[in-house]
Structure 1
Amino acid sequence: MGRAALVEMQNADEARTIIYEIRNSPFMISSMPRPVRARPAVVGMFDDRPRKPDRTIMCYWLKSNDPDFEVATKMKRIVRNHAKEANFLLKRQLEEEEQLAIEQS
């Protein structure tokens, strides 16, 4: 589970409104308040975001005889495994929270 998130809004007014709402209303999951904080981003808070103007992401298809094909295939498998593990852990955590809510009620 992530502990922090960068949320970009369309304009500064929307960002101020969201920050105000989060600070003044409890965030609830399964009828239990969760501690959530919101604050506006400042320069230097995120080293790699927003993306630097000179940095570009290039996407292209690799052929099976390309030397990087095997590396890309391994990375793809690892990403899938990580996604499955994260999904399993999230489901497990939700089950534990539901059991806790039942016990507390």
Structure 2
Amino acid sequence: MMLHKNKCLELGLPEPKNFHTQKAYVLLVLSNGHILDTRTAKYIGIANLHSIAPSIRKAGFQFEHVKRLAKDHETGEIPPHKVIHLSMTVEQIAYYKEAKTAKKG
């Protein structure tokens, strides 16, 4: 599935590049201090955020994972069902950036 650049920018998220996989884009969003929930992910073109989360964890990166209500960006409403929200703490972002730099060097 392709990421919707215009919708990402509309929400203030980083601009997706052609080479970004969904997993790479989720890591970019989280490492820039954004929170990504299932409804937002679907809106920008990521259908299965719940499937990407385990692969990020398996790659050795930590993040926060909670279930809360979230806005549906198509309707503007907040449905009564809780969805997953992923985010990184300042420490988790620092670890991710260090690991990314070490991998390049």
Normalization by structure 2: what TM-score? 0.24
Of structures 1 and 2, the one scoring higher in RCO (CA 8 A, sep 6+) is 2
